[in-house]
Structure 1
Amino acid sequence: MPWLTVLTASGIAAAQVDSCTEEALATALLGGGTVTFGCSGTILLEQPLKIEADTVIDGSGQQVVLDGGGRVRIFEVQDATRLELRQLTLVNGFHAGADANPETGEAASDGMGGAVWVGDGGHLLVSECVFEGHQVRGGAGAGASVARLSAGGARGGAIHVGNGTLHIEDSVFSENQADGGDGGGQGLTPHETASGRGGAVYHDLGESRMVRTRFVNNRAQGSLLTEALVSPRNGSAYGGALYAGAADLLLDGCQFLSNRVNVGSAPRNTGAGEAAGGAVYIGAGPSEALIRESTFESNVCPGGRGWDLATEGRGGAIASLRSWQCRLSMFLSNRVEGGMSISAGAPGKGGAIWSAAPMAIEDCTFLDNSAVGVMGQGSMAVGDAPDGSEALGGAVFVEGATWIRGSAFARNQAVGGPGNSVPGFPNSGGGDGLGGAVFGAAPLAMWNCTLIGNEAFAGQPDAFLGQNPGNARGGAIHLAAGPFGGTNLTLVGNRVVATDAGGTVEGAGFHMMPDVTQASLINTILFGNEPGGDWVGTFETFRSNLTTAGLATDGVEPRLGTFGDYGGPTWTVSLLEGSPAIDAGESLSCPETDQRGVMRPVGAGCDLGAFEFTAPYLANTLVAERKADGRMQVVFAGEPDQDFVVETSTDLVEWRAASTNQVNAVGLLVFGEGRDSGQPGPTFLRVARP
């Protein structure tokens, strides 16, 4: 059942629009109430529709398109008023802020809500609607030798809610954009520029709930500044699809695909704006934020590239300034890039997630995300170009206390930026790639996680002198700060990759900076992480771990399976029968379940790594025969001299052990000679390892 509230307007009769025209719809909306349609068609608007009383607009059973024509906003909702939209398509809404006026000294204003603007204390509820092609643009700035006026910002390409309630379900937002206003022309005093926030949706305060909703190809754009004589700063960009300021936020079953932020930049005498949250930006505040069962794919956050100031790229998919949780979600092929100026680069942080506040990640998948540094940028006036920028955390950058459990990290990359290869700018070194999957700059705890095939790449130096290549550290995890606690992790096949000119490569599995303290690793598998070894750094506690070096010393194969779906919400690396990781763990430190949710321990002890081995069924052939006296006889074939347990069930759900024994030397065993249980219905049998 839909969770959206059904609005009623006491004493107001419902109205039906029988002619799909602007005049007919505006008339039906007078006084509020419920408005339905007896027609299908496109209604092209010449002016915004005013909502001055609680209103439901229901397009059920018809195909109704409301079109702003790229000229006007579609709905304006009065303060403390409620609007509900059902089964409508809204396209091409537009709102622009007023330009600055240097004669009166009036600053530019913001563009807000191309499709819907909601007044203070208002409520917007949306069900089964499409929002496509909406745009907001900030007013242009202006300046002169004695004054400067900022450009206007852009907030919510489709929807703007300042302080109120926003509930959205089963809807689509595509090709919407929020563009900060232009900085104006060149003058003796530089012009400031403004930010784009929320390419599709902006919500600052109140309650925000979005369920089963898709955000595709939305964009937040910081304003661009033309050349100036002094160094101002260009516009910032936050939340390519969604900007949630201090609003209480729930995203449930949503999809964010190919959204991005773009920071304003200009060729000379300017600094770059900030860039954060290719898809979603979560602002600071005490409110809760929860993301669950959602998908983030191919979202992008490039850092800022200015003349004299570069800014970091933060969070290819999500950037957060407050405490939040993420559960049962997938992050696929998201990307963050560093920034660059003529004097220094700025890193790209968190290919999927950048968080400056406490964060909890549970049962999530991070696949093919990347943090990428950019090339050093030179200037003849300055001389040597700066080094390529750093890449920190191919999937996740942790700047607030964080725990991660039950999650999979595969094929994520941190790629250091190259040095400048343009003639005339030698001595530009490569940037570092640190933490192919995770970069920890705050307390971090991880358990029941699989990290496989992640990579950190050193940046290439300039092509002329080939000096100062970047470094690659922590193919899976790089720790710049502690404490750190890792329990029952599986780190397999992660890499650190040097350049052709060399560079330091260390800790293909883990890398810890020398000043990291209070680090522990227990019940963990570290195998095949190379070059640079499974780890570099000092663990205060290092117990019951299986390592590449230890296996080589003992001459034992790890007996690990492939990375795949073995049940549970995320993929794992299985243990094969006979693995030295089976039953080798420290039980007191063992989590109650493995990464899949299988109860631990199975067998004599807890298994190492994120996967708890459960024996496959032993029987190759299982034959049941009723004897003449009514008794049942079961014969099965299996491996000789193997222990087994026969289990019985009447419903194929609950099983109980009926007998434990051992297959004989020739591989056959006869079980039975007992009478029927007397319970109604059939009795099912299976044979498994104990």
Structure 2
Amino acid sequence: MSTLRWTLSILLFLALLMPGVLEPAPAYAGGVVTVCDEAHLLAALAGGGTVTFTCSGTITLTAEIVISADTTIDGSGQTVTISGNHSVRVFTNSGFTLNLNELTVANGYAESGGGIFNDGTLNVNNSIFSGNSTTGYGGGIRNDHGTLNVNNSIFSGNSSTGLGGGIYNNGTVTLSNCTFSGNSARGGGGISNNYYGTVEVSNSTFFANSATDFGGGLSNLSDVSSPMTVNNSTFSGNSASSGGTILVFQGPVTLRNTIVANSPTGDNCAGAPITDGGGNLSYPDATCPGINADPVLGPLQDNGGPTWTMELGEGSAAIDAGDDAICAAAPVNNLDQRGVTRPQGAHCDIGSVEQITDPTAVNLTGISAQSASGALPPMLVLGLLLVALASIGVARRGRQTDTN
């Protein structure tokens, strides 16, 4: 009997060492979308887990997708658009964790939260929100007492007849390395923060967003306990009747190393005072904190990195004028929106882009675009490498032309 017990003990010990044996089965298996249509997507999503794609294309929905378990939807290696066809919301996430990676969420429509309604945890990486709309709040995303983290993503052409063309928030929002362009609303064309919401924006660009009433780029309508902080970001060409770029009702707004410029209608900033966290620039008016000087911004275009940006031109007052301590600390961490190391000169630059005097100084390893698994998506690495090589080639041809 003792021999039997000893044998069983050894077998149990060996079983515990073997992966998968006596371990609980994963809660959700996830699935693979082999054909880019609604039926195959819904089948892969059943039960949650990680969903991947072996196809590219546009998946047009006839009904919104309601997330019912923790889910990761990863479009790495493919080009996948999930469209609400201007008739339905794309995702509703209530109480779960939803991770979106390398996807386009387009043409969603709802009374609130045209692209996504979130009151769980929503993590968005390397994705695009485009053409989503609402008659209420949050054309791209309504974050309703949820947590929203967005990295290396684009919000373009989203709209709301209420508040928050890109994002409406009354939860917690953290944005880094993002571009908001051409979004519109009655208030807060890019982002509207409300009702105890908290927003932190870093290394991001807001261009040509608009509001019919107030806050073309940002509006903070929340109370005094709801802060909005903007670090090393660039705002240009945003417009509204009041606060062409930023309108503050009473919630505290702090700008740090940020450019606010060229609002065609409405002053750059309006409403309650904005806290000067250091290293800011306002142009041509001085309604926002910081120095009053021309940043000489280039057009919104592909300057390398995962999102489009606006470079600083020759003679820009923003060059070497930033606060180095702000650049060095989290969440900026001495990187610009593209992943280029700061500083490139004597001091870091104001705004989302660090001027590069030598194109070979681009630090691809510093770019923080990561998939849900934490690894750089292969297609993104290839794209960034091609952009970097093209930029170096153009610069070299320019130098050769100058010497001829």
* TM-score normalised according to structure 2 size: 0.69
* C-alpha deviation, 1:332, in angstroms: 1.3
Aligned to 1:597, what secondary structure does the other structure show? Answer: coil
* C-alpha deviation, 1:276, in angstroms: 1.6
* C-alpha deviation, 1:607, in angstroms: 3.1
Higher relative contact order (CA 8 A, sep 6+): 2
Aligned to 2:310, what secondary structure does the other structure show? Answer: strand
* C-alpha deviation, 1:314, in angstroms: 1.2
User: Does 2:33 match 1:127?
Assistant: yes
Contact 1:158 1:176 in 2 (8 A): no
* C-alpha deviation, 1:438, in angstroms: 1.2
Report the AA paired with residue 247 of structure 1: F
User: Does 2:269 match 1:510?
Assistant: yes
Aligned to 1:574, what secondary structure does the other structure show? Answer: coil
Q: In the TM superposition, what are the counterparts of 1:296-335 in structure 2 within 5 Å?
A: 296-302=129-135, 313-321=136-144, 322-335=146-159
Q: What is the distance in 2 between the residues matched to 1:454 and 1:260?
A: 24
User: Does 2:124 match 1:355?
Assistant: no
* C-alpha deviation, 1:248, in angstroms: 1.4
Q: 1:166 to 1:129 in 2, by over 3 A?
A: farther
Which structure has the larger Rg over C-alpha atoms?
A: 1
Contact 1:217 1:258 in 2 (8 A): yes
* C-alpha deviation, 1:210, in angstroms: 1.0
Q: What is the distance in 2 between the residues matched to 1:161 and 1:133?
A: 10
- Name the residue aligned to 1:546: 291
Report the AA paired with residue 202 of structure 1: V
Report the AA paired with residue 438 of structure 1: L
Aligned to 1:314, what secondary structure does the other structure show? Answer: coil
Q: Give the alignment partner of residue 438 of structure 1, picking from 210, 218, 235.
A: 218
Q: Which has the higher strand share?
A: 1
Contact 1:577 1:615 in 2 (8 A): no
Q: 1:413 to 1:210 in 2, by over 3 A?
A: same
Q: What is the distance in 1 between the residues matched to 2:86 and 2:28?
A: 25
Q: What is the distance in 1 between the residues matched to 2:153 and 2:104?
A: 10
Q: What is the distance in 1 between the residues matched to 2:58 and 2:67?
A: 15
* C-alpha deviation, 1:414, in angstroms: 0.6
Q: What is the distance in 2 between the residues matched to 1:281 and 1:509?
A: 30
* C-alpha deviation, 1:123, in angstroms: 5.7
Unaligned residue ranges in structure 1 (runs of 5+): 1-80, 83-120, 135-156, 179-198, 222-239, 262-274, 303-312, 338-347, 372-390, 416-432, 457-471, 497-504, 537-541, 552-556, 618-652, 654-685
Q: In the TM superposition, what are the counterparts of 1:552-567 in structure 2 within 5 Å?
A: 559-567=296-304
Q: Give the alignment partner of residue 66 of structure 2, picking from 202, 206, 209.
A: 202
Once the two structures are superposed, what CA deviation does each residue of 1:357-413 show, in whole Å capped at 9, x if it has no partner?
A: 111111111111111xxxxxxxxxxxxxxxxxxx11111112311111111111111
Q: What is the distance in 2 between the residues matched to 1:320 and 1:484?
A: 19
Contact 2:99 2:124 in 1 (8 A): yes
Aligned to 1:276, what secondary structure does the other structure show? Answer: coil
- Name the residue aligned to 2:232: 448
Once the two structures are superposed, what CA deviation does each residue of 1:72-111 show, in whole Å capped at 9, x if it has no partner?
A: xxxxxxxxx99xxxxxxxxxxxxxxxxxxxxxxxxxxxxx
Q: What is the distance in 1 between the residues matched to 2:270 and 2:233?
A: 17
Aligned to 1:349, what secondary structure does the other structure show? Answer: coil
Contact 1:565 1:571 in 2 (8 A): yes
Q: Which has the higher helix share?
A: 2
Contact 2:153 2:307 in 1 (8 A): no
Q: Give the alignment partner of residue 118 of structure 2, picking from 277, 282, 296.
A: 282
Contact 1:215 1:257 in 2 (8 A): yes
* TM-score normalised according to structure 1 size: 0.42
* C-alpha deviation, 1:521, in angstroms: 4.2
Aligned to 2:349, what secondary structure does the other structure show? Answer: coil
Q: What is the distance in 1 between the residues matched to 2:201 and 2:342?
A: 19
* C-alpha deviation, 1:598, in angstroms: 2.9
Contact 1:447 1:488 in 2 (8 A): yes
Once the two structures are superposed, what CA deviation does each residue of 1:269-314 show, in whole Å capped at 9, x if it has no partner?
A: xxxxxx2211111124xxx321111111111111xxxxxxxxxx11
* C-alpha deviation, 1:452, in angstroms: 1.2
Q: 1:561 to 1:130 in 2, by over 3 A?
A: closer
- Name the residue aligned to 1:253: 102
Q: 1:130 to 1:327 in 2, by over 3 A?
A: same
Aligned to 1:474, what secondary structure does the other structure show? Answer: coil
* C-alpha deviation, 1:588, in angstroms: 3.4
Contact 1:161 1:202 in 2 (8 A): no
Q: What is the distance in 2 between the residues matched to 1:330 and 1:280?
A: 15
Once the two structures are superposed, what CA deviation does each residue of 1:531-556 show, in whole Å capped at 9, x if it has no partner?
A: xx4426xxxxx5xx321xxx5xxxxx
* C-alpha deviation, 1:132, in angstroms: 4.3
Contact 2:45 2:51 in 1 (8 A): no
- Name the residue aligned to 2:74: 211
Q: What is the distance in 2 between the residues matched to 1:166 and 1:526?
A: 46
Once the two structures are superposed, what CA deviation does each residue of 1:35-81 show, in whole Å capped at 9, x if it has no partner?
A: xxxxxxxxxxxxxxxxxxxxxxxxxxxxxxxxxxxxxxxxxxxxxx9
Report the AA paired with residue 282 of structure 2: L
Once the two structures are superposed, what CA deviation does each residue of 1:437-482 show, in whole Å capped at 9, x if it has no partner?
A: 11123311111211111111xxxxxxxxxxxxxxx21111112233
Contact 2:44 2:51 in 1 (8 A): no
Q: 1:160 to 1:439 in 2, by over 3 A?
A: farther
- Name the residue aligned to 2:8: none
Aligned to 1:588, what secondary structure does the other structure show? Answer: helix
Contact 1:406 1:570 in 2 (8 A): no
- Name the residue aligned to 1:596: 338
* C-alpha deviation, 1:319, in angstroms: 1.2
- Name the residue aligned to 1:18: none
Give the alignment's Cα RMSD to 1 decimal. Answer: 3.2
The 10-residue stretch of structure 1 (443-452 or 579-588) with the greater mean CA deviation from structure 2: 579-588
Aligned to 1:354, what secondary structure does the other structure show? Answer: strand
Once the two structures are superposed, what CA deviation does each residue of 1:164-210 show, in whole Å capped at 9, x if it has no partner?
A: 425432266744334xxxxxxxxxxxxxxxxxxxx2x1123x21111
- Name the residue aligned to 2:51: 168
* C-alpha deviation, 1:484, in angstroms: 2.1
Q: 1:166 to 1:487 in 2, by over 3 A?
A: same
Q: What is the distance in 2 between the residues matched to 1:494 and 1:243?
A: 35
User: Does 2:188 match 1:393?
Assistant: yes
Q: What is the distance in 2 between the residues matched to 1:414 and 1:535?
A: 18
Unaligned residue ranges in structure 2 (runs of 5+): 1-24, 329-333, 360-388, 390-399
Q: What is the distance in 1 between the residues matched to 2:298 and 2:61?
A: 45
Contact 2:232 2:327 in 1 (8 A): no
Q: What is the distance in 1 between the residues matched to 2:191 and 2:74?
A: 24
- Name the residue aligned to 1:291: 124
Q: 1:356 to 1:587 in 2, by over 3 A?
A: same
Report the AA paired with residue 289 of structure 1: L
- Name the residue aligned to 1:476: 245
* C-alpha deviation, 1:257, in angstroms: 1.9
Contact 2:324 2:348 in 1 (8 A): yes
* C-alpha deviation, 1:161, in angstroms: 7.7
Contact 2:207 2:300 in 1 (8 A): no
* C-alpha deviation, 1:218, in angstroms: 4.2
User: Does 2:330 match 1:494?
Assistant: no
Number of residue equivalences: 319
Q: Give the alignment partner of residue 354 of structure 2, picking from 599, 612, 617.
A: 612
Q: What is the distance in 2 between the residues matched to 1:159 and 1:218?
A: 20
Q: In the TM superposition, what are the counterparts of 1:151-162 in structure 2 within 5 Å?
A: none
Percent identical across equivalent pairs? 26
Q: What is the distance in 1 between the residues matched to 2:308 and 2:51?
A: 31
Q: What is the distance in 1 between the residues matched to 2:246 and 2:301?
A: 21
Contact 2:204 2:352 in 1 (8 A): no
